[in-house]
């Protein structure tokens, strides 16, 4: 018997279906000489400090550098404290029995670094010696699965991938556990002051933006607005220049030849620029873009959206949600017309689904090369039935985005009218000629200011127009906005892009900080630590968060570059570079950051006393 192990039940079911195996047992499916079993993500984790004899949180223990890491069954928190997760233990027992029985293991965890680690941790924890081969597929259509099984790779081909995954895991433990204890201890051991490769740069981003806003000095400036009349329509134009003082603006205002001053047609059209613009449809959603949209439209937190999506996924209404890809492959695309047809009677989207059924689909979201372990989020087409309002809202975002993504471009015409009346004035307008994908939600373009979205009347060069009104506008420069969950998620995704060092920037280009599956929990961790809080839609630091930021802001652990540097080395390890060298560097860094924090954290003692009181 051969046993196939997947990362999660849904994938195991999919594989079993392709093989025609359908005898369901507790924790596995069998048939046709194969057994399909699964993990639930990471079943095992690196054992906590006490498993190496580091009891309590004491400076003498630091730095904790286990000679050899141990694995422990994943824990959950219950009212009786932290215990082994019984479901995980049970599944491990199932896997153990199957591994003992089998002649060969086929590794079908997700095709990536963590997928490899999930399997290897199980394999080594169970002290299994059975031979294994690797299934490496990036799409789960029947054809891709069949091809993948015909083309299984030797398990050892992925040894270096495992080494890089293992290094990632141990390095995060070493730096995170030691830095956390060092800071907490030196601040008086009254509160958990956690630090980590991902959470600390995230905190730093929130704090630095907050400080920027707090220290921002707004500057007042002035504009002159005129109201013009062409036949029966009115529109507004704004001075081409901004003025620093009210006096300057008043001079310009005075010079305007308006009706009140007796000028029948005091404005002359200097220039009319009309441009046709094609606006392509948005890409399909990945988890992050959906979390951002749900936060903007409905105010859901990233964590809530992930939870809702997980429920929809378990209800088989949407495809795998924790994806970082906004694309699908050609195989999935082939099934899209049928999928769209299933929404022809949908109360909200039925009409657009029908429209789409009769036109050529836009292929902007179709690119097999940009599909990583999972493709973009799509509805499955299963009948949804009655859903709670939040599930319905998120489901509609998935369905609506699918219709948008395969829709035609939106055709717009933008117009810029330049006028002279004393000074120069401009009016910007946009007219949607053909809604295309924008017909799905009929939303306005939220990135644009209202005044740029005005509908302007047709005017000709050198035509003269009535100025029916004029005014001075007092404006203020604005700071960048505080982070919301939506903008923070975006920033986490893209934060590697402005790193100066070219190699580090390259190493982070596909990753950013954290992963789609973990970003929501990073935000929740910072809130749980009392480092940040939600205020309306914004995320703002607490006094504690700001104090921690002050201590670590110049250190490597607070920089996104640290992840870039690690990614670069991990990529090299994957390509065969020395593991020992990287481990030695991490041990060195662990020692130095621990020493620094053991001294630096004393500055935080007063604030932890206050927090405790």
As annotated, the active-site residues are 320
| Cβ at position 361, least distance to DNA in Å | 28
Cα 233 to Cα 414: distance, rounded to the nearest angstrom: 18
Which is nearer to DNA, 454 or 517 (by Cβ)?
517
**Interface ranges with DNA (CB under 7 A):** 7-10, 40-43, 45-46, 48-50, 54, 56-57, 74, 81-82, 87, 110, 114, 118, 168-169, 172-173, 176-177, 180-181, 184, 189-192, 194-200, 310, 313-314, 320, 322, 514-518, 521-522, 525
8 Å CB contact between 111 and 373: yes
Describe the chain by its helix, strand, coil percentages, rounded to 5: 45, 20, 35
Q: Per the structure block, which two tokens stand in for 153?
A: 């790779």
Cα 300 to Cα 502: distance, rounded to the nearest angstrom: 36
Cα 583 to Cα 588: distance, rounded to the nearest angstrom: 9
Strands 153-154 and 220-230: unpaired
Whole-angstrom distance between the N-terminal and C-terminal Cα of the chain? 62
Residues with Cβ < 8 Å from 56, sequence gap 6 or more?
A: none
Cα angle 359, 401, 274 (rounded to 5 degrees) comes to 70
Which is nearer to DNA, 163 or 406 (by Cβ)?
163
Cα 594 to Cα 334: distance, rounded to the nearest angstrom: 54
Element (H, E) at 3: strand 2-6
8 Å CB contact between 53 and 29: no
Q: Per the structure block, which two tokens stand in for 560?
A: 């996104």
DSSP conformation letters of 422-491: SEEEEEEEEEEEE-GGGGTT----TTS-GGGSB------TT-EEEEEEEEEEEEE--PPPPPBHHHHHHH
Greatest distance between any 2 Cα atoms in the chain = 99
Residues with Cβ < 8 Å from 610, sequence gap 6 or more?
A: 543
| Cβ at position 166, least distance to DNA in Å | 11
What SS3 state is found at 215? coil
DSSP conformation letters of 166-181: HHHHHHHHHHHHHHHH
Cα 470 to Cα 237: distance, rounded to the nearest angstrom: 10
| Cβ at position 191, least distance to DNA in Å | 6
Q: Per the structure block, which two tokens stand in for 425?
A: 């004035």
Cα 597 to Cα 608: distance, rounded to the nearest angstrom: 15
| Cβ at position 414, least distance to DNA in Å | 41
Cα 153 to Cα 149: distance, rounded to the nearest angstrom: 9
| Cβ at position 495, least distance to DNA in Å | 13
C-alpha closest to that of 69 among 43, 42, 47, 84: 47
């Amino acid at each position: 018997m051969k046993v196939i192990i997947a990362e999660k039940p849904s994938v195991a079911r999919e594989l079993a279906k392709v093989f025609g195996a359908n005898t369901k047992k507790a924790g596995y499916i069998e048939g046709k000489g194969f057994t399909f079993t699964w993990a639930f993500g990471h079943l095992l984790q690196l054992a906590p400090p006490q498993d190496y004899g580091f009891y309590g949180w004491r400076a003498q223990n630091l730095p904790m550098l286990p000679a050899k890491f141990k694995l422990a069954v994943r824990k959950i928190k219950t009212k009786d404290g932290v215990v082994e997760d019984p479901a995980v233990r049970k599944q491990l027992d199932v896997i153990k029995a199957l591994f003992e029985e089998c002649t060969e293991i086929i590794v079908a965890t997700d095709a990536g670094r963590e997928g490899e680690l999930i399997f290897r941790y199980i394999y080594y924890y169970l002290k299994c010696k059975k031979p294994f081969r690797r299934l490496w597929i990036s799409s789960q259509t029947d054809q891709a699965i069949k091809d993948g099984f015909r083309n299984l790779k030797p398990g050892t081909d992925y040894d270096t991938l495992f080494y890089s995954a293992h290094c990632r895991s141990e390095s995060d433990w070493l730096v995170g556990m030691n830095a956390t204890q060092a800071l907490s201890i030196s601040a008086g051991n009254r509160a958990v002051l956690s630090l980590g490769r991902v959470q600390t740069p995230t905190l730093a981003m929130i704090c630095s933006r907050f400080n920027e806003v707090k220290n921002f000095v707004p500057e007042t400036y002035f504009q002159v607005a005129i109201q013009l009349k062409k036949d029966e329509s009115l529109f507004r134009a704004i001075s081409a220049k901004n003025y620093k003082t009210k006096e300057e603006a008043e001079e310009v205002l005075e010079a305007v030849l308006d009706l009140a001053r007796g000028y029948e047609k005091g404005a002359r059209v200097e220039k009319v620029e009309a441009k046709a613009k094609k606006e392509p449809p948005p890409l399909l959603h990945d988890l992050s873009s959906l979390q951002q949209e749900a936060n903007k439209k409905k105010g859901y937190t990233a964590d809530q959206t992930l939870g809702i999506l997980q429920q929809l996924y378990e209800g088989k209404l949407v495809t795998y949600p924790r994806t970082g890809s906004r694309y699908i492959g050609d195989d999935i695309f082939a099934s899209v017309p049928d999928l769209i047809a299933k929404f022809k009677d949908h109360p909200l989207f039925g009409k657009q689904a029908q429209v789409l059924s009769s036109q050529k689909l836009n292929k902007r979201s179709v690119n097999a090369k940009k599909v990583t372990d999972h493709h973009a989020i799509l509805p499955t087409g299963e009948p949804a039935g009655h859903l709670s309002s939040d599930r319905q809202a998120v489901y509609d975002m998935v369905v609506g985005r699918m219709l948008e993504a395969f829709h035609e471009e939106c055709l717009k015409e933008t117009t810029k009218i330049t006028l002279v009346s004393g000074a120069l004035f401009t009016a910007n307008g946009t007219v949607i000629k053909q809604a295309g994908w924008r017909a799905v939600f009929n939303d306005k373009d939220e990135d644009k200011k209202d005044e740029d979205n005005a509908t302007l009347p047709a005017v000709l060069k050198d035509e003269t127009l009535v100025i029916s009104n004029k005014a001075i506008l007092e404006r203020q420069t604005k700071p960048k906005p505080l982070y919301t969950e939506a903008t923070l998620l975006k920033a986490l995704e893209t934060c590697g892009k402005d790193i100066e060092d070219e190699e580090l920037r390259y190493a982070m280009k596909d990753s950013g900080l954290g992963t789609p599956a973990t970003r929501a929990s990073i935000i929740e961790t910072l809130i749980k630590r009392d480092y940040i809080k939600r205020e309306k839609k914004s995320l703002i630091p607490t006094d504690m968060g700001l104090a921690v930021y002050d201590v670590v802001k110049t250190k490597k652990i607070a920089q996104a570059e640290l992840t870039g540097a690690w990614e670069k080395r991990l990529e090299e390890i994957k390509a065969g570079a020395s593991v020992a060298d990287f481990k030695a560097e991490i041990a060195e860094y662990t020692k130095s950051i621990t020493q620094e924090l053991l001294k630096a954290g004393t500055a935080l003692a007063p604030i932890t006393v206050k927090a405790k009181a």
